[in-house]
Amino acid sequence: MTSLSRRRFVQLASAVSLMPGLSFAEGKRKNLYAVNVCGRWGFINQEGQMKLPARYDAVFGFASDLAAVRVENRWGYIDRKGKVVVTPRFDEARNFHSGISPVRKGSEWGFIRPDGKYAFPARFELARSFQDDRARVTLHGKWGYIDANGEMAIAPKYDGANGYNEGVAPVKLGGKWGYIDKKGETVIPFEHDLAASFNSGLAAFAAGPKWGFLRKDGSVALEPTWEKTGEFSEGVCPVRMDGKWGLIDPAGKVIMPPKYDEMDSFTDGLVAAKQGTQSIYLDHSAKTVWQQKMDCPSGSSSGDYKKPS
């Protein structure tokens, strides 16, 4: 398993879908939101104004001022003005973090800089974006982690891996998931069926069909109760109960009742959700701040959106 299969990366499948780009910590730049118009992706601002026309087959949300976009089955990168900064020529691509991004040409993954040149030779079977100054990669079918220089920081020996966050990463060994620190030392034993990265001091884990949350010391903060979960962000986390999604706080208290068919985690005060055929955006008070429904010609597809990671 290359990433946590049950983790929620919501793709709103209505005719027009709205998903957030990465937030900007400075607060000086407004977010751009990926929007799907009858199978093509573009970007709008928080006021709903189209800033970058819907012309892409698939997109990743903006990260480090760049977004990966797919045009005619090839991936490249654009800036926030829509200017092509890396010509689409890759078979796959991910987000820029730490000044480099993983890309694939043929069977090999490597990492490029914003000028499109390789930071170090492509040699990996799989590769994902940097998180917490580490990127997970595979060699000979096993997962390990590299540093920003392309050197192996953690030898590839794991059957599964997710990204580092808050100094630790979930990895799979011997059929179970545990957590390691940046030295590769085990900090939470390998005893979980599935495990996600930490956010806000909590990490989702699975025990059979149910999901709960761990603390950094490995103790259970919230017992496995939910069918699926997202990740904590802005003090709340999406969870699924009886087939519907709602929000809980770190104590497990329901903040927003479960009534949505899909739900993402909060980004800059808004959360994307789907209710029936409606793609919507909600604020922390559960007020709908954006919704749109649109009929498209038959044969239109929803395309692909990839959340920044």
Confirm if 91 and 75 have CB atoms less than 8 A apart: yes
Residue 8 belongs to a domain? no
Residue 138 belongs to a domain? no
Confirm if 129 and 135 have CB atoms less than 8 A apart: yes
Nearest-Å Rg of the Cα atoms of the chain is: 19
Residue 61 belongs to a domain? yes
User: What's the confidence (pLDDT) of residue 45?
Assistant: 78
**CATH for 79:** 2.40.128.630
Start-to-end CA span in the chain (Å): 17
Sorted by sequence, the CB contacts under 8 Å of residue 61 that are 6+ apart come out as: 19, 20, 21, 22, 34, 67, 95, 305, 306, 307, 308
Residue 40 belongs to a domain? yes
Residue 203 belongs to a domain? no
Confirm if 148 and 165 have CB atoms less than 8 A apart: no
Residue 151 belongs to a domain? no
Residue 88 belongs to a domain? yes
pLDDT in tens, the chain (309 residues): 333 333 332 222 223 344 443 332 233 356 787 777 778 899 877 766 789 999 999 999 898 899 999 999 999 999 999 999 999 999 999 999 999 999 999 999 999 999 999 999 999 999 999 999 999 999 999 999 999 999 999 999 999 999 999 999 999 999 999 999 999 999 999 999 999 999 999 999 999 999 999 999 999 999 999 999 999 999 999 999 999 999 999 999 999 999 999 999 998 788 888 888 777 878 898 888 777 655 566 555 555 545 545
User: What's the confidence (pLDDT) of residue 203?
Assistant: 98
User: What's the confidence (pLDDT) of residue 139?
Assistant: 98
Domain total of the chain: 1
What domain range includes position 39? Answer: 31-122
User: What's the confidence (pLDDT) of residue 11?
Assistant: 29
3-state SS of 213-265?
Answer: EECCCCCEEEEEEECEECCCECCEEEEEECCEEEEECCCCCEEEEEEECEECC
Residue 177 belongs to a domain? no
